[in-house]
Chains A and B, each alone.
Chain A
Amino acid sequence: MGKGAYHVTNAIRSLRFRAGDMTQQQLADLVGVTRQTVNAIEGNKYSPSLEVAFRIARVFDVPLEHVFQYEGPEAGRATPR
C-alpha cells in the first residue's frame, strides 16, 4: 500500500494562537524539542513520535486527535462486525 495518499495534518498553529500567541520556541521548550522541530511538525514536514505528540497535546490540554489528524481514503478503515 502506498503511503502517498495518507498524511498527518495538525492544528498546532491555531492552538498556539489560542494559547495566548505562544511562540514556537516556547512550545519547543515545554515539549522538550528544538524550535526547528516544532516548525517542521507545524508545516507537516515531520511526523513526531507518539511521545512528542502526546506531550504537545498535554501542553495545550486537549486530546491527541484535536492536535493531529490522520487523513487518507476511507478504505483504510476497519469495518466493525
Chain B
Amino acid sequence: MHLSFHEKSLWVTLLTLVGAFRIYFTAAVQWYRQFAGTAPGMAVDVMPPQVVLLGVAIGMIVVATIVGHALIAIADRRTETDERDALIALKGTRNGAYVLATGVFFALYAALATDGNFIFTHVLLASWVLAQLVEIASQLVLQRRGA
C-alpha cells in the first residue's frame, strides 16, 4: 500500500497527538484520583504542575510533528496536494466539528454538575483532542475510500 505525502503527514499528526495526550491524560487521571482520595468532597481545580505537563505535551507535539514531516518530506519529494485533498480535509473538519460541539455541551454539564474547574477543563480538552482525532481519522478513511 503506497501512501501519499498527505496521508503520511496525517499519520504522523495522529500518532503524535495520541502519544502526547495519552501521557497527559494518564497523569491527569492519576492526579485527580490522588486528590479526590485524600480530600473527598473538596472542589478539584487545575494545578500548576498540570499546566506545565500540558505545555510539555504541546511542545512534544510541535517537535515530533516538525521532525516527522521533515523525515517524510526527505523520503517522498511529492508534497503537493490537490482538489480531492481539500475536499477530504473539509469533510474531516466537519466530522471533527460535530464531536467538538457535542463535547462542549458535555463540558457545560460538567461545569454545572461538579465543583472546581478540573473536570470541566479536562472534558473540554478531551473533546478538542477527540475532535482532532476524528478529523484526522476521517481524512485517512476518505483517502482510502475515494472521497
Contacts and interface: CB of A to CB of B under 8 A. Distances in A.
Given A43-B146, A45-B146, A45-B147, A35 B83 contact: no
B147 A46 contact: yes
Contact of B83 (A36, A43, A48): A48
Contacts of B4: 34-36
Size band of the interface chain B makes with A: 10 to 19
B77 interface: no
Query: Secondary structure at chain A's binding surface: helix, strand, loop or mixed?
Result: loop
A38 to B, nearest CB: 10
A36 B143 contact: yes
A33 B146 contact: no
B78 interface: yes
Listed residue (A37, A48, A49) with the most chain B CB atoms within 10 angstroms of its CB: A37
Nearest to A52: B83
A46 B82 contact: no
B85 A34 contact: yes
B26 interface: no
Nearest to B146: A45
B90 to A, nearest CB: 14
Across the A-B interface, give the 10 residue pairs with the lowest CB-CB distance, nearest first: A45-B146, A33-B82, A46-B147, A37-B84, A40-B146, A46-B146, A36-B4, A34-B82, A37-B82, A49-B83
